[in-house]
C-alpha cells in the first residue's frame, strides 16, 4: 500500500515538472526553427 502512495506522490510531482520542462524546451525549439527560417 505504501508503494502505491509513494508512486502516486512521485507521479503528481514529476508530471507537472516534466510538462513545464517540455513546454519551455518546445518553445525554445520552435523559436529557433522560426529564426532559422527567416534568415
HSE (side-chain half, CA atoms, 13 Å) at 14: 6
The overall pTM is greater than 0.85 = no
Torsion of CA 22, 28, 30, 33, to 10 degrees: -140
Q: What is the C-alpha separation between 32 and 26, in angstroms, rounded?
A: 10
In the chain, which ranges are continuous DSSP H helix?
A: 2-38
- Residues 1-39: tens digit of each pLDDT: 899 999 999 999 999 999 999 999 999 988 888 888 776
Number of domains in the chain: 1
Tally of CA atoms within 13 A in the half-sphere of 37 that contains its CB: 6
Q: In the numeric block, which cell numbers belong to residue 32?
A: 529557433
In which domain, by residue range, is 33 found?
A: 1-38
Amino acid at each position: 500500500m505504501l508503494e502505491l502512495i509513494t508512486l502516486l506522490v512521485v507521479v503528481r510531482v514529476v508530471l507537472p515538472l516534466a510538462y513545464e520542462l517540455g513546454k519551455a524546451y518546445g518553445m525554445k525549439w520552435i523559436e529557433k526553427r522560426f529564426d532559422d527560417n527567416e534568415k
